[in-house]
Amino acid sequence: MSRLTLCLVLLTVLFWGAHLVVYFRSMIIAWVDNRVPYEPAVARLRLLFRKGRR
């Protein structure tokens, strides 16, 4: 595979991965909350993935 093909594959994976994270953000936040309830990063995740973020 050429370098261009590898770059395009990487960009495609990043693009669709970001879409999946945004689509499943509420389930991801609930999973993190239940898994690590004392983690201070959960509040930052909630702010990052909140709806209507500009």
> How many Å apart are CA 12 and CA 15, to the nearest integer?
5
Identify the pLDDT of residue 16.
95
Residue 53 confidence (pLDDT) above 70: no
Q: Which position has the token pair 């991965």?
A: 17
Is this model's pTM higher than 0.85 or not? no
Q: Which two tokens stand for residue 43?
A: 């509040």
Please answer whether residues 49 and 28 qualify as being in contact, where contact means their C-beta atoms are separated by less than 8 angstroms: yes
The predicted-structure confidence for 16-47, as pLDDT tens digits, reads as follows 999 998 888 888 777 777 665 565 666 777 77
Say which residue, 2 or 28, is predicted with more confidence. 2
